[in-house]
Amino acid sequence: MTITIKNLTEKYQDEWKVVGSYVSTMFKGEEPKRNFPISEKENIVKVLKGEKPMYLPDMTGMTALSPRVIKDHVVRSFVMEAEPMVCVAEGAGGKDMFGVEWEFIPVTGGAMVKPGNPLIPDITKWEEYVTFPDISTFGWEESAKANAHIFSEDRLVRTWIMNGLNERIISFMDFDKVMIAYVDEDEKEGVHRLFDKLCDFYDELIDYLHKYLKTDVIMFNDDWGTQRAPQFSNATAREMLVPYIRRLVESCHKRGMYFELHSCGKNETLVPVFIEAGIDIWAPQEVINDFDVLFETAANDILIGIPTDSTPKNTDEEAFEIAKEYVEKYAKTGKKVMLNITFPVQHPRIAEFVYYLSREKFANE
């Protein structure tokens, strides 16, 4: 069969047909439920297990959840649930669950720690300054009831933990002080004690998210990079962060969940470290990372979110050719790839074209 928009549309249009809807947790409204031969959940799990999927999965095929019961999401203006609040100033800012003060910055559409008063002035004595919150008091039953209608057996629930290990300690101390503490022999032991305690805390938080909010994937928000390179060496990452990421991966795996490291920056050189840490999913930051390199170095072990080169300015025919090249390059059994159409903004039909083309390719393997 000739691979054209017309032919593939005729062959697979019934599968692309909208047969229902899901509640949109990113924006008020609904997302289409399509007539796929197997659910988006089952298809993504196949890729995570290294099996042949029926089609290349799309990152938007998971239900995004960033619940209000975790105070960090409110102060950082990043609530996604039945009543979403995404990147808006209303209600943003204030103290997070550790008492750190955040302020909303309109020009960036997000929040940052209010400067000038770090919670921890001395990492070797952090226990004198940090009080861990009681997770049991967060209002889980109320949140479960309010969000009950957003969950579906057809989709994985992907829940954010906004401040990971690196981001959490930076919020406690400021960036420059943390980078020194990672390499100063007098301060390292304090960092290790803090991360050990944070892992216990996050393990409990993951348990609550799994039990009350049906979480399948923990999206652990922990940026490790800058525009040009990682914030620290691979050796420092292995010593100061990897042992604790492994513990959090195990916190997920022992509950039948998956661990996604959300880590922005130009982090290509950290791929061996990510693999050693055992993470399941990573959506690298667009534009600054080389996705062909990441496909070869990471996609055997980690499910990588990869965008296309399409833009809204492309014609349908141009977008179809871009999708064809994308699928030929990345849709391979055993390679763990997921379409990422969130950023940058891509052609409005690119997900449809990738579906048709990958469905055809996997069907004929």
Angle in degrees, 0-180, between the axes of helices 350-363 and 316-330, rounded to the nearest 10: 40
Contacts of 315 (CB under 8 A, 6+ apart): none
Provide the β-strand partners of residue 86: 78
In angstroms and rounded to an integer, the radius of gyration of the C-alpha atoms of the chain is 21
Residue 87 has pLDDT above 70, yes or no: no
CA angle 45, 37, 340 (to 5 degrees): 50
| Residue in the block written with tokens 């004929």 | 364
pLDDT at 42: 98
- State pTM to two decimals: 0.96
Strands 157-161 and 217-221: parallel
Residue 109 has pLDDT above 90, yes or no: no
Classify residue 235 by burial, with Cβ atoms within 10 Å: 0-12, 13-18, 19+: exposed
CA angle 13, 15, 64 (to 5 degrees): 120
Residue type, 320: F
* Distance from C-alpha of 191 to C-alpha of 169, rounded to nearest angstrom: 8
Q: Dihedral (C-alpha) 111, 113, 115, 117: value to the nearest 10 degrees?
A: 150
The tokens of 319 are what? Answer: 């977008």
pLDDT at 86: 59
The more confidently predicted of residues 269 and 83 is 269
168 falls in which pLDDT band (50, 70, 90)? very high
pLDDT digits (tens, 9 = 90+) for 55-73: 999 999 999 999 999 999 9
What is the domain partition of the chain in residue ranges? 5-363
pLDDT at 212: 98
Residue 263 has pLDDT above 90, yes or no: yes
* Distance from C-alpha of 171 to C-alpha of 113, rounded to nearest angstrom: 6
Q: What is the enclosing helix (H) or strand (E) of 329?
A: helix 316-330
* Distance from C-alpha of 116 to C-alpha of 5, rounded to nearest angstrom: 57
pLDDT at 77: 86
The tokens of 325 are what? Answer: 């090249």
**How is residue 100 annotated by DSSP?**
-
Residue 10: count of CB within 10 angstroms of its CB:
11
pLDDT digits (tens, 9 = 90+) for 339-358: 999 878 899 999 999 999 99
Angle in degrees, 0-180, between the axes of helices 242-253 and 188-213, rounded to the nearest 10: 20
CATH of 5-363, one of 3.40.50.1970, 1.20.58.2240, 3.20.20.210, 3.90.930.60: 3.20.20.210
The average confidence (pLDDT) of the chain is 95
The tokens of 248 are what? Answer: 């959090």
Please name which of 121, 126, 100, 122 lies closest in space to residue 112, comparing C-alpha atoms.
Answer: 100
Q: What average pLDDT score do residues 217-226 get?
A: 98
**How is residue 299 annotated by DSSP?**
T
Contacts of 5 (CB under 8 A, 6+ apart): 316, 317, 320, 353
Please name which of 208, 90, 217, 77 lies closest in space to residue 139, comparing C-alpha atoms.
Answer: 208
